[in-house]
Amino acid sequence: MKRKLFIGGKWVDGREYSALYAPHSGELIAEIPQADQDAVDQAISAAESVQAELRRMPAHKRSALLAAIAEQIAERSEEAARLIALEAGKPIRTARAEVARTIQTYRFAAEEAKRICGETVPLDAAPGGEGRVAYTTREPLGVVAAITPFNFPMNLVAHKVGPALAAGNAVVLKPASQTPLSAFFLAEIAQTVGVPDGALNVVTGSGSVIGEALVTDPRIKAITFTGSPQVGIEIRNRAGLKRVTLELGSNSAVIVDRDPNLEEVVPRCVFGAFSYSGQVCISVQRIYVIREAYNAFVEAFLRETGKLRGGDPLLEETDYAAMIHPKETERTLEWIREAEQKGARILCGGAAEGRILPPTVLTDVPPEARVSCQEVFGPVVLINKVDSVEEAIRLVNNSSYGLQAGIYTNDVRTALMAAEELQVGGVMINDIPTFRVDHMPYGGVKQSGFGREGVKYAIEELSELKLVAFKR
């Protein structure tokens, strides 16, 4: 029940502990050590002391370690999924999908570890560059701090730990307070497969204490953060010259043009809106449907949403469960009430049933309502009518966020126009913004952050380019 910190390859007691409760049942599931300044300091020292070894480690060895992590997770995949379901309240089938992706992410990292390379630079393109040859290499940065959110406690950790180790860095991982068990699970596996002591350290506890210590320590060379914009901006402001990658929130939208194939589009949009109760950074929050298709779309959407079942996340039949914390449910309900006061109509959901907030569909939502212009991060979607795709694009872009957007259209010119005009990090043509596979470049613009993940791209963020120039 009492867990330990993982520092320098050893399991270490905390000075203080905090109770961890399951979001859905409210039961006590573990006692979690709360790392203090000293523990963080030890973790950074351990990471620093293994740096030289990691730097010298040949690519095939780094690759083999990452492949072994992937295989261990695959062997223990059901255990991993149940852990996620328990600590994050994620329905078990969705948790299994996360584990499958986590395995892929480490496999991609194992593959990319072998392909970290530079290019030759034709120096004689500049007068005075004659008689010289130059090439670039990529070197590890050193110690990387990884700070992760609760909503994908394994795969978003994999998106940081995988590329960091692939590039030869050591990692101090600070998982979200609600989901430390997935991080301890990874540490156990790292130990089993022989990741060198100190190459991965897990420090759990409050974000403000550990975060502050990591962000300000000069031995940390990069901070890779996924979480809310408020925290991300705070980190950036205090990080000084450290490399910073920020994967932040969004109020992602999808546009539905005329003649949609409702049988394909609607189930996909329902999945995008309500998977893990909308607690996904690229969850479908806003749907803009062209006037001619609107009524049929809404009707089909409600029918499809009605098929979803709420309940215990550990049961096979469950599609949605309680949100991560009762205060998040309260906040979401308050935003729904505000939208209603501003003229929105609630077509389904909109009231809690016990601990669960069921899928909520709103229409006629004005853009200034928080469920439209801010990140809901809950089981709420709005479906608004538009007269043209151009109008829909203006509405999508009228947001402080820009992570991904989607458009369903049968017209290639409209698709290309949307691809050019949408102000986001990724445009999905004929799919929802929620589409992601783990090797594609992924990240946002505006308040959705900067820097890219997707293993190869994260390796670029977590390594330093060096130029070597020879004069003949």
Which tokens is 126 given?
Answer: 């500049």
The size of the interface with ligand NAP (CB under 6 A), counted in residues, is 28
Of 112, 247, 375, 453, the catalytic one is 247
**Catalytic status, residue 247:** yes
36 near ligand NAP (CB under 6 A): no
What are the tokens at 334? Answer: 């308050």
* Torsions phi, psi for 347 (to 5 deg): -90, -30
Q: Which stretch binds ligand NAP (CB under 6 A): 36-44, 56-64, 225-233, 287-295?
A: 225-233
The rounded distance, in Å, linking the Cα atoms of 337 and 285 is 16
Give the residue, chosen from 377, 379, 461, 462, that forms a contact with ligand NAP under the rule CB under 6 A.
377
With CB under 6 A as the contact rule, the residue among 211, 378, 406, 426 that binds ligand NAP is 211
- Give the C-alpha separation, 16 to 13, whole Å: 9
The encoded tokens of residue 159 equal 């998106």
> Which residues on adjacent β-strands are paired with residue 170?
143
151 binds ligand NAP (CB under 6 A): yes
- Please provide the distance, in angstroms rounded to a whole number, between the alpha carbons at the two ends of the chain: 65
Contacting ligand NAP within 384-443 (CB under 6 A): 403
Q: Is the backbone of residue 350 left (phi > 0), alpha (psi -120 to 50) or beta?
A: left
Q: In terms of CB distance, is 281 or 381 closer to ligand NAP?
A: 281
Specify the residue, 200 or 265, whose C-beta has the smaller distance to ligand NAP.
200
Question: β-strands 463-471, 243-247: how paired?
Answer: unpaired
Q: Show the binding pattern over residues 242-261: x = contacts ligand NAP (CB under 6 A), - = does not.
A: -----xxx------------
Looking at 49, 206, 397, 400, which residue binds ligand NAP (CB under 6 A)?
206
Told to check if 234 binds ligand NAP by CB under 6 A, we report yes
Q: Is 208 in the site for ligand NAP (CB under 6 A)?
A: yes
Q: Are 312 and 318 in contact (CB under 8 A)?
A: yes
Instruction: Give the range of 4-12, 113-121, 147-155, 336-344 binding ligand NAP by CB under 6 A.
Output: 147-155
CB of 443 to ligand NAP, least distance (A): 7
Is 174 a residue that touches ligand NAP (CB under 6 A)? yes
Site membership for ligand NAP, residue 451 (CB under 6 A): no
Print the binding letters for residues 177-196 with ligand NAP: x by CB under 6 A, - otherwise. Answer: x-------------------
Q: Does 446 bind ligand NAP (CB under 6 A)?
A: no
- Per CB under 6 A, the segment of 39-47, 64-72, 230-238, 261-269 that binds ligand NAP is 230-238
Figure out which of the listed residues 116, 231, 287, 459 binds ligand NAP, where binding follows CB under 6 A. Answer: 231
Q: Which is nearer to ligand NAP, 72 or 102 (CB)?
A: 102
- Told to check if 381 binds ligand NAP by CB under 6 A, we report no
d(CA 218, CA 382): 45
Q: Rounded to whole angstroms, how far apart are CA atoms 138 and 161?
A: 18
Buried b (16+ CB within 10 A) or exposed e, 277-308: bbbbbbbbbbbbbbeebbeebbebbbebbeeb
Q: Which of 386, 394, 401, 415 is nearest to 445 (CA)?
A: 401
CA distance 142 to 464: 10
- What minimum distance in Å lies between the beta carbon of 345 and ligand NAP? 26
3-class SS of residue 205: coil
Q: How far apart are CA 379 and CA 382, in angstroms?
A: 10
- Rounded Cα distance, 382 and 371, in Å: 8
Distance CA 399, CA 133 (A): 47
Catalytic residue among 281, 304, 375, 461: 281
- Judged by CB under 6 A, the stretch of 101-109, 131-139, 224-232, 343-351 that binds ligand NAP is 224-232
Residue 464 known to be catalytic: no
What's the closest the beta carbon of residue 150 comes to ligand NAP, in angstroms? 4
Alpha helices in 342-388 (DSSP H): 370-373
What amino acid positions are annotated as catalytic residues?
247, 281
Binding residues for ligand NAP, rule: CB under 6 A, are 147-151, 156, 174-177, 206-208, 211, 226-228, 231, 234-235, 247-249, 281, 375, 377, 403, 449
